[in-house]
Amino acid sequence: MPNTSDVIIIGGGVHGASLAFHLAQRGVKPILLEKKFIAAGATGRSGGLVRMHYDVRQDSELAWISFGYFKNWGELVGGESGFTRTGFIQIVAREHEAALRLNTAMHQDIGIASFMISAEDVKRLAPSFVTDDFDFAAYEPESGYADPNTTTASLINAAKGKGAQIKQDCLVTGAIVGAGQVKGVTTTQGDFFAPTVVNAAGAWADKINTMVGLEIPYSTWRHDTMLVGRPKEIGPSHPTVIDFPNEMYFRPETGGLTLVGLEDNNLLGESPEGDTDHAKHGFVERAIERICQRIPVMEKGHLHTAYGGYDGITPDQHPLLGQAGPEGFYLQCGMSGTGFKIAPAVGLCMSELLLDGQAKAVDISIYHPERFKEKKEITGNYVSIWH
């Protein structure tokens, strides 16, 4: 049969790429179908933060295993991920300190280098930061950020080297289903057949679910990002930060830049085809105000650029991982604005699920796509402080 493979992966973001790599590593020959080009969606717009700080144990475990990849990328994948160690600081308001301590203890239990440090210690690490609105922060000395485009390209190259096929400019337009079993997909480049189809279509995943008659609550989440030129007073770099009191995250970028994203006013439910070349009206002003609250000397900086991106989001802001709908149809989507850093481990777990019937690296059963029907939404073990 023409165009037949072991597994069809829909979507060439970091998640489709990671799954293609891990399947190919196990000797399976997947075909990845991407409607535009590799990393054309959320991945190419991602801030690329790499940290392990979460309030759900499995999230931290996925991030921790992925961190092992980022640290040893050349050996485990080949090529580059652009991982840059900057140290990561999670700042929370005083009323969330108890939850922060519990989270940090959970991270330490997993084996993650994560510590509570005082506001004075934060000042020592980052002298230009305002530190009078909190007493303690969580600190991961080994964390930082990676380059999402480079990461995805090297996963794709490694997958291709092991026998995966990659087709770009190939829009999946429908599903071929018979007797309750998925058999393939129709596309703008013809029909493709496989007994297993994985939906890794990010913000577009709902459309793919509809093609197989699957109804799962799903929306899109827009995030805007600003890059600013740092004034020399800040020094050559600064830590990567999630600044919960200011609903903001920021990290250094090459070329003397700082990348800033905001956690509020991120629009839900827009078409993922919206303009991502420009940030939404008013975003830059708000982002400048926030970064200057934490780093006042940033007032001497200058705007470099600002843009947007769309991710898929679920009602509990956690991924959909596993089988749902017709037999052979799997989901690896709904990354809810935080999926880059976990992609290596998620691809590994999904390859184990497909090939061995169960993920071994991390128990991903809590992310089962049908959990909303069963009222098993994922909530943090402790007070949730970053949603």
Ligand X SMILES: Cc1cc2nc3c(=O)[nH]c(=O)nc-3n(C[C@H](O)[C@H](O)[C@H](O)COP(=O)(O)OP(=O)(O)OC[C@H]3O[C@@H](n4cnc5c(N)ncnc54)[C@H](O)[C@@H]3O)c2cc1C
Q: Does 351 bind ligand X (CB under 6 A)?
A: no
What secondary structure letter does DSSP report for 267? P
Contact 191, 217 (CB under 8 A): no
Question: Which region, judged by CB under 6 A, interacts with ligand X, from 89-97, 118-126, 199-207, 348-356?
Answer: 199-207
Query: Given candidates 52, 91, 198, 201, which one binds ligand X under the rule CB under 6 A?
Result: 201
Residue type, 330: Y
15 binds ligand X (CB under 6 A): yes
Of 206, 178, 173, nearest to 190 (Cα)? Answer: 173
Query: Is 294 near ligand X (CB under 6 A)?
Result: no
Provide, rounded to whole angstroms, the least separation between the CB of residue 208 and ligand X.
6
The one-letter code for the residue type at 245 is: P
Q: Out of 22, 96, 238, 341, name the contact with ligand X by CB under 6 A.
A: 341
By CB under 6 A, is residue 225 in contact with ligand X? yes
* CA atoms within a 13 Å half-sphere pointing along the CA-CB vector of 204: 21
Among 43, 104, 151, 157, binds ligand X (CB under 6 A): 43
Binding status of residue 309 toward ligand X by CB under 6 A? yes
Q: Can residue 36 be called a binding residue for ligand X (CB under 6 A)?
A: yes
**Site for ligand X (CB under 6 A): which residue of 5, 19, 20, 34?**
34
387 binds ligand X (CB under 6 A): no
Does 258 interact with ligand X (rule: CB under 6 A)? no
* Residue 322 interacts with ligand X (CB under 6 A): yes or no: no
d(CA 47, CA 29): 31
Q: Which range of residues in 13-21, 78-86, 130-138, 351-359 is near ligand X by CB under 6 A? A: 13-21
The reply to whether 223 sits near ligand X by the rule CB under 6 A is yes
Q: The tokens of 227 are what?
A: 């890059």
With CB under 6 A as the rule, give the number of residues binding ligand X. Answer: 39
SS3 of 295, please?
coil
Q: Please tell me what DSSP assigns to residue 81.
A: -
Q: Which of 41, 184, 328, 369 binds ligand X (CB under 6 A)?
A: 41
- Closest distance to ligand X from the beta carbon of 77 (Å): 16
Query: How far apart (Å, rounded) are the C-alpha atoms in residues 201 and 172?
Result: 10
**Least CB distance to ligand X at residue 168 (A):** 9
Among 335, 348, 362, 364, binds ligand X (CB under 6 A): 335
Options 103, 104, 338, 351; binder of ligand X; rule CB under 6 A: 338
In angstroms, rounded to a whole number, what is the distance separating the alpha carbons of residues 34 and 231? 40
Among 144, 184, 202, 239, binds ligand X (CB under 6 A): 202
Q: Who's near 24: CB < 8 A, 6+ residues apart?
A: 30, 158, 159, 160, 161, 162, 163, 164
- The window from 21-29, 42-50, 212-220, 292-300 that contacts ligand X (CB under 6 A) reads 42-50
Q: Are 239 and 86 in contact (CB under 8 A)?
A: yes
Task: Tell whether residue 33 is a contact of ligand X (CB under 6 A).
Answer: yes
Shorter beta-carbon distance to ligand X: residue 70 or 136: 70
Determine phi and psi for 176, rounding to 5 degrees.
-105, 115
Which C-beta is closer to ligand X: that of 112 or that of 333? 333
Q: Kindly tell me which residue out of 8, 14, 52, 287 binds ligand X, with binding defined by CB under 6 A.
A: 14
Quick check: 251 and 47 in contact, CB under 8 A? Answer: yes
Tell me the β-bridge partners of 91. Answer: 137, 243
Separation between Cα atoms, residue 292 and residue 234, nearest integer Å: 12
Is 337 a binding residue for ligand X by CB under 6 A? The answer is yes
Torsion angle of the four alpha carbons 266, 268, 271, 276, in this order, in degrees rounded to the nearest 10:
10
Q: What is the DSSP letter of 362?
A: S
Asked if 59 interacts with ligand X (CB under 6 A), we say no
Residue 98 C-beta: closest distance to ligand X, Å: 26
Buried b (16+ CB within 10 A) or exposed e, 9-37: bbbbbbbbbbbbbbbbbeebbbbbbbbee
**How many residues does the structure list for the chain?**
387
C-beta of 25: minimal distance to ligand X in Å? Answer: 18
Residues within the interface to ligand X (CB under 6 A): 10-16, 33-36, 40-43, 45-49, 171-172, 200-204, 223, 225, 261, 309, 311, 333, 335, 337-341
